[in-house]
Amino acid sequence: MSHEKPKADRLREGMEILRKLQEFGVGKTDPGFQEVQGAIAVWVSTGAAAQHKIPLSRQERVAEIVLPRRAQNTATCVLKVMT
């Protein structure tokens, strides 16, 4: 039986993704950052699993985000070069 990820874990993992994006140079006012932040906010609130591909035009990257429902899986954000 799979267990849902607790809200506190979703919040912690979401904040870590946002912090890493800022370390990479994605500013809080960047439209891509705001889109990632919005997707994470919905995930933290609902717990529903989601996957997103969000363009980060200034960095010439696409953020591929996986937000899991199950507690044993960790949220991930992979930056890929735009082609």
Encode pLDDT of 20-66 as tens digits: 999 999 999 999 999 999 999 999 999 999 999 999 999 999 999 99
Residues near 43 by Cβ (< 8 Å), separated by ≥ 6? 10, 14, 49, 50, 67, 75
* Cα–Cα distance measured from residue 74 to residue 81, given in angstroms and rounded to the nearest whole number: 23
pLDDT at residue 1 tops 60: no
The whole-model pTM stands at 0.93
pLDDT of residue 2: 59
Q: Say whether 74 sits in a helix, a strand or coil.
A: coil
